[in-house]
Amino acid sequence: MEMKLRPLRYFKAVVEHGTIAAAAEALHVAQPPLSKQIRQLEADWDVALFERINHRLHLRDEGRFLYAHACELLQLADDIDTRMQALSKGVAGQIRVGTTAAGVEPVARTIAALNRDYPDIRFVCWQGEPHALQTMVDCRTLDLAVVPRPIETPGLVSRHLTPLRYVALARPDSGLEDPVDLAKLADCPLLLLHRNSRFGSFERVLDAFYARGLTPSVVSECSDVPILHALVRRGVGVALIAVNPSEDEASADAGLRRHGVSGLPDPNAELVVIHKADIQRSMVVERFCALLHDDSVDASDEGRTD
C-alpha cells in the first residue's frame, strides 16, 4: 500500500482533538471527507483504530501504534520540507571552501557574516597551496577556493577579488628598515614560495634580482606561507611574499614585521575565487561568493569580473 501523508495528518488530528468534529474544525475541513479518510485507513489495514466511549474516540492498540509512528513520520516530513525550503533560498546547507594564506582574512570575514545572519549554514574549510586547491575544486572536493593567479587547471572559472603586493617578512630584530632595497635583500638569506606551477612569484622575484645583476641567497623554498612564518620566527631568513593589502597585518604575521620593498616590480598578481565551470552552484554557495566578492571590493576599493 502506498502511504500518503494527508490521511495520517487527519488521523493525528482526530486523536489529539478526541472527536471528528473538533478535528475537522482545527483542520478547516468538512467532517465527511475527514471521516472518509479515517475509514479508508482502517480498510487499508483491515483494523479498527478507534473505539467510541461516551461520545469520544479512544485509541485501540492498533491506533496507538499508528499514532506514535505517524507523529514521527509527519515530523520528519515537516523537517524535510523546512530544510529543502531553506536550501532553495540559500539560508542553509554546507559550503566547502579552500584558501591560501593570503585569502584567509576575506574568507574568515565572509564566514563570520554568513554565520551571523544564517546560523544553519555549515562550513568546511581547507587551507593549502594553490595547485592543490585547484585540483580539489576540479575534483569537486571543494565548492570554491581563493587562490592567487595563475590558474592552470582547465575547466575552472575565476573572478577577481583583490590585488596582491610584495613585502619582506622579517623578525623585529632583523635591522631592516622601510623600504628595503633589493641590494640589501640580496645579502640576506631569503625564503621564497615555490609552488607547483610553470611560472609564479618565485620566478618573478628571482628575475627582478637578476635584472639588477644581483644573485639572491635562497636558503629555503616553501610550499605555503605558514612554513615561511615558522622559519622567519626562528631566524632562518627573510621571506619575500605577495600579501593581501586588506588583511590585518598584526594577526596575519603574529609578531613579525612587514617591510615594503623597493626595486621589486608589481607582482602582477591577484587573489581570485575559483569554481568549477560546468556545474550549477547551490544557492548557499552563490550567496557565499557574492558576499565574498562584495567584501573584497569594499576592502580593496576596486573590482572586476573576468
What does the pLDDT average to over 98-113?
Answer: 89
**For residue 76, what pLDDT band results from cuts at 50, 70 and 90?**
confident
* Mean pLDDT across 111-138: 88
Query: Does the pLDDT of residue 152 top 60, yes or no?
Result: yes
Mean pLDDT in residue range 168-191? 88
For cell 471527507, what's the residue? 33
pTM above 0.85? no
**5-88 CATH pick, 1.10.357.10, 3.40.47.10, 2.60.40.10, 1.10.10.10:** 1.10.10.10
Separation CA 260–CA 262 (nearest Å): 7
User: What pLDDT sits at residue 304?
Assistant: 37
Provide the grid cell at 163: 590585488
Three cell numbers, residue 260: 615594503
**pLDDT-based confidence at 303, cuts 50/70/90?**
very low
Percentage above 90 pLDDT, the chain: 19
Q: Answer yes or no: is pLDDT of 305 > 80.
A: no
Between 298 and 129, the more confident residue is 129
Is there a shared CATH topology between the 5-88 domain and the 165-262 domain?
no
Candidate from 111-125, 205-219, 270-284 with smallest mean pLDDT: 270-284
- Domain ranges in the chain are 5-88, 93-162+270-300, 165-262
Structure confidence by residue, pLDDT tens digits, 54-70: 778 889 899 999 999 99
What does the pLDDT look like over 11-40, one tens digit per residue? 999 998 888 899 899 889 999 999 999 999
What is the mean pLDDT of the segment spanning 115-123?
A: 87
pLDDT digits (tens, 9 = 90+) for 226-264: 888 889 999 999 998 888 776 655 545 667 888 888 877
Residues recorded for the chain: 306
Most confident of the ranges 143-147, 179-183, 277-281, 300-304? 143-147
Q: CA geometry: angle at 129 spanning 128 and 132, to 5°?
A: 85
Grid coordinates standing for 7?
A: 490521511
- Does position 125 have pLDDT exceeding 90, yes or no? yes
Give me the CATH topology for the region 165-262: D-Maltodextrin-Binding Protein; domain 2 (3.40.190)
The CATH number for 93-162+270-300, chosen from 3.40.190.10, 1.10.1660.10, 3.40.50.360, 1.20.120.450, is 3.40.190.10
Q: What is the pLDDT of residue 306?
A: 41
The predicted pLDDT at position 266 comes to 60
Q: Which residue has the higher pLDDT, 73 or 83?
A: 73
Cα distances (Å, whole numbers) of residue 243 to 12, 22, 24, 147: 61, 69, 67, 12
* Cα(250)–Cα(259) distance, integer angstroms: 13
